[in-house]
Amino acid sequence: MRPLYIFILLSLLPFYLFSAPAFPGTLSFSQNDGEQFKGKLKGDEWLHWISLANDYVALYNPTSKNYEYAQIKTVDGKNQLVPSGLKVDERLHKLQPLKLSKSVAPLDSIRLSKLYREPKAQHTQKSHIKKSNYKNKSLKTKSTQWKEVLKEENPLK
């Protein structure tokens, strides 16, 4: 009975290794000019953001190298979260949310859950094996014959 429990535990373990929640506490983020603000990490592996006070959301903009307030825009027919161009200022979203709401709207979790989620990491590695046409080949099941056909199609350099 004990080996059965170990088998079940080991078979379920890989599912927990593929994802992990973001840090649940409040973190301090630094802008390019040294100014700091506090926020919480939210999201998943496809869509992630920094949650600020009063339902504002921040994203890192690599072109300006600053954290900016986020807004929802339609890109290629899909709603996506994009930086607004307005640098995050903690005094603005904590003390003057009405002034900020004229230029950037606060985003609640319901609106964020409806956004398009696309994997950010793209595969850049190209295949080393050339495409081959096996339709014209009659292959038998012996492994040595497969090796010969593969050598013909993919010669070593």
Give the C-alpha separation, 8 to 3, whole Å. Answer: 9
Is residue 119 included in any domain, yes or no? no
Is residue 99 included in any domain, yes or no? yes
Between 27 and 126, the higher pLDDT residue: 27
Is residue 2 included in any domain, yes or no? no
Domain, as residue range, for 106: 21-113
Is residue 44 included in any domain, yes or no? yes
Q: What is the pTM of this model?
A: 0.60
- Give the mean pLDDT of 17-25: 69
Number of domains present in the structure of the chain: 1
- Confidence band for 58, pLDDT divided at 50, 70 and 90: very high
Is residue 89 included in any domain, yes or no? yes
Report whether pLDDT(145) > 50.
Answer: yes
Is residue 9 included in any domain, yes or no? no
Is residue 65 included in any domain, yes or no? yes
- Do the beta carbons of residue 34 and residue 46 sit within 8 Å? no
Backbone angles phi, psi at 95, to 5 degrees: -100, -25
DSSP state of 94: H
pLDDT tens profile 75-115: 888 888 889 999 998 888 788 878 888 888 888 777 777 77
**Residue type at 5 in one-letter notation:** Y
pLDDT of residue 125: 45
Report whether pLDDT(4) > 70.
Answer: yes
* Tokens linked to 104: 């950037």
Is residue 31 included in any domain, yes or no? yes
By the 10 Å C-beta count (0-12 exposed, 13-18 middle, 19+ buried), 105 is classed as middle
Give the C-alpha separation, 134 to 142, whole Å. Answer: 16
